[in-house]
Structure 1
Amino acid sequence: MEDEIEIPQYFICPISLQIMKDPVTAVTGITYDRESIEHWLLTAKDATCPVTNQPLSRDCNDLTPNHTLRRLIQAWCTSNATNGVDRIPTPKTPLNTTHVLKLIRDLKVGPLHFKTLKKIEALADNERNIKCMAEAGVAKEMAILIVRCFKENRTMGLEETLKILHLTWTATPEIRLLVNESSDFLDAVTWALRHDIENHVMVKTHAVLVLKLVLEVANSKSLERLTLEFFKKIVRVLREKISQRAIKAVLCVLIDVCPWGRNRVKIVEAGAVFELIELELEKPEKKITELIFCLLAHLCSCADGRAQLLKHAGGISHGL
């Protein structure tokens, strides 16, 4: 029914070609739906107005809410409700740095801690909010919080903390220092992989995704001191087949750390070759297969890796 209704042209966002839910006007005078233009400004190679091609600032705060147009759109939707048109709700006020900093302060207040953590998780639902959180230093606070959970052996809020850290991760000098100055942070993220708590699938998936980001900024010294126990926990994720995202992240992690120190031998000792063959025999998606063969090539460059491949009945019979 809605498809048959003629929608006023000035209600339509020039980018999404959909009815605008939160119309905002750029300095060029063109109105867009906030989500569409903010995504454009955050991802486009050149920050220009899509309609006029004039330069725009990437600062989303330069966009002015068009309250008059939004009310007209809401009124039109209400009047066409009988024709199947849903009313556009009044948009929430965009997140700003002041609000984020207050939330960070509230995290440190015991009674408010978990409630604040849930608020931050709920707000991390769009690119603009995530960017604002990243710029305000949320990732560093989440990293510190994970280390605290690890040292206190506390799992409440662990899923939310890992998820927020993954979403807001920015490789700032502070984050790099936190990763490389001691093993606490890496140990804390790895610790999250061993828990079989109620929400363990999401906890472990987010932990592996964070781990991938952590190792991307780790220096050579940190990569060379990875332990056999570390690799056993990582390989366990492959054995448990927690999720497709987790499997891909683990494979990427293992490929990336192979060249450092004795990591190849440690990965083999952790039982990775057997798990990789078992995983490939289940005929996974193409991307996973590519990663499996890439990792096997690394591991079979050492004698122990080749020996483990030959021990598995499927290693030769399936041409692995």
Structure 2
Amino acid sequence: MDGHQDIEIPEYFICPISLQIMKDPVTAITGITYDRESIEHWLFQGNNNAECPVTKQPLPKDLDLTPNHTLRRLIQAWCADNSAYGIDRIPTPKAPLSKLQIIKLIKDLWKHELQTKTLIRLEVFAAENERNRKCMAEAGVPRAMLTYIEKCCDKNQVGGLEGALSILHFFKITSEYMKLSAFEIDKIVESFTWVLALDDESIENHKEIKSHALRILKNIIQAASSKFLQRLKPQFFQNIIRVLKQRVIAQQGVNAALQLMLDACPSGRNRMMMVESGAVFELIELELTASEKKTTELILGILFHLCSCADGRAQFLSHRAAIAVVTKRIMQVSPAADDRAILILSLICKFSGNFNFVVQEMLRVGTVSKLCSFLQVDCAAYLKDKAREILRSHYDEWKDSPCIDASVLSRLTR
């Protein structure tokens, strides 16, 4: 409304939410009229428990908004009459997307000559607004996209794959939606595992495709039952770790991959498959260049689980920067990172077969000094106990080192 100070705009032309002239006025069951875009954003995105912004009355989950054609025509006429004052004409809004339109597009998806055009139209609709996405979800678009990706996998064809993944990433796959059979879920995960294995030279925009695939896969696995995590295959982890190693995905994709691994960690079988795939070594490599707090927390969380087994600890110690990078993160990232880092060091100290190397390496890279500093800051009591336990267990090996103040070490370990 800036620039129109000299024009008195009728109050009932103004949306109560946006405080702008309404372009597509719609009336809720409470009798209040809003601009469609504003009320839909309020309902779909806001934390308002589906209340009418004006009356505070509850609104139903599936709110039916009634177009106020009379008011729209009045607004259009008023805008036309005042065009000389810089008032833009309000175009007649498009009719809302219907479920029947989407169902027809899903049918067209399986006609080879219409696939490209159909995927483009569906992506445009999905990107447009939340109302479209809700309509598309109800019409079965997410399931259709999953089926399309499965067909691509079965035929080893990448045509349309980017479009299907791009559409699918607009939708949150919930546990309610994932009421699928074990066979169906296995097929979905198999197809996404195939996507992650695709040669980067064989697909355009491979960075975006694999990032989308990992984010969708994370949602699928989090929505599936815990029993599903027991059925994951070695190839699943091998492909995720290969993608992380190649550094071919965006940061959101990296964090999705790490979350996938962390969610799978409670299973001892999965931990062994990750270790056998070289996960520990590659996670340390990734952490050496990590710049996000979330990424570090996820990496340390996974490393803690993998270091609970002997092979994981052996792989950890095979990387010469492992103890150093974990030590460096203490008191530098977050309490959650401190928790995982201290517990990793505790496992390495207590159960490592390479005792002399661990003791000397912790002294060399400053772990002992860092633990002493950690004991002097405000932190969780159980973590202080863990840090103190590490220092006590190797006190005799460290007390005579010129790098350590023996009196401080003695005082802190009492």
- The alpha carbon displacement at 1:45 in A equals 5.1
**How many residue pairs get matched?**
318
Matched, 1:57 2:64: no
Native 8 Å contact 2:218 2:256 kept in 1: yes
Native 8 Å contact 1:176 1:217 kept in 2: no
Q: 2:141 aligns with which of 129, 138, 149?
A: 138
Q: 1:245 to 1:72 in 2, by over 3 A?
A: farther
Q: 1:173 to 1:282 in 2, by over 3 A?
A: closer
Q: 1:254 to 1:70 in 2, by over 3 A?
A: same
Letter of the structure 2 residue corresponding to residue 231 of structure 1: F
Q: 1:282 to 1:182 in 2, by over 3 A?
A: closer
Q: 2:43 aligns with which of 7, 28, 41?
A: 41
- Deviation track 1:196-242 (CA, whole Å, cap 9, x = no partner) reads 11121121111111211221234455322322222111012222241
Native 8 Å contact 1:140 1:175 kept in 2: no
- The alpha carbon displacement at 1:254 in A equals 0.3
1:229 is matched with 235
Q: 1:16 to 1:182 in 2, by over 3 A?
A: closer
SS in 2 for 1:262: helix
- Deviation track 1:5-53 (CA, whole Å, cap 9, x = no partner) reads 3373434322233443322111222111212212333355533311012
SS in 1 for 2:169: helix
Q: 1:119 aligns with which of 117, 121, 129?
A: 121
Q: 1:208 to 1:83 in 2, by over 3 A?
A: farther
| Mean CA deviation greater in 129-138 or 104-113 | 104-113
Equivalent-residue separation in structure 2 for 1:152 and 1:10 (angstroms) = 58
Q: 1:315 aligns with which of 311, 322, 329?
A: 322
Normalised by the length of structure 2, the TM-score is 0.69
| Mean CA deviation greater in 272-281 or 183-192 | 272-281
- The alpha carbon displacement at 1:70 in A equals 3.4
Higher relative contact order structure (alpha carbons within 8 Å, sequence separation ≥ 6): 1
Equivalent-residue separation in structure 1 for 2:224 and 2:173 (angstroms) = 13
Q: 1:58 to 1:310 in 2, by over 3 A?
A: same
SS in 2 for 1:32: strand
SS in 2 for 1:46: coil
- The alpha carbon displacement at 1:316 in A equals 1.4
Q: 1:96 aligns with which of 90, 95, 98?
A: 98
Gaps of 5+ in 1: none
Normalised by the length of structure 1, the TM-score is 0.88
- The alpha carbon displacement at 1:143 in A equals 1.5
2:2 is matched with 3
Equivalent-residue separation in structure 2 for 1:229 and 1:249 (angstroms) = 17
Native 8 Å contact 1:123 1:129 kept in 2: yes
Q: 1:162 to 1:13 in 2, by over 3 A?
A: same
Pairing of 1:1-320 with structure 2 (within 5 A): 3-6=2-5, 8=9, 9-42=11-44, 44=47, 46-60=49-63, 62-74=64-76, 87-125=89-127, 126-171=129-174, 175-178=178-181, 180-181=183-184, 183-195=186-198, 196=200, 197-239=203-245, 240-318=247-325, 319=327
| Mean CA deviation greater in 211-220 or 73-82 | 73-82
- Percent of paired sites with the same residue: 55
2:398 is matched with none
Equivalent-residue separation in structure 1 for 2:89 and 2:107 (angstroms) = 36
Q: 1:179 to 1:36 in 2, by over 3 A?
A: farther
- Deviation track 1:77-121 (CA, whole Å, cap 9, x = no partner) reads 667778776654432211121111111122222222221121111
Q: 1:89 to 1:297 in 2, by over 3 A?
A: farther
Gaps of 5+ in 2: 330-414
Equivalent-residue separation in structure 2 for 1:206 and 1:100 (angstroms) = 22
Q: Which has the larger radius of gyration?
A: 2
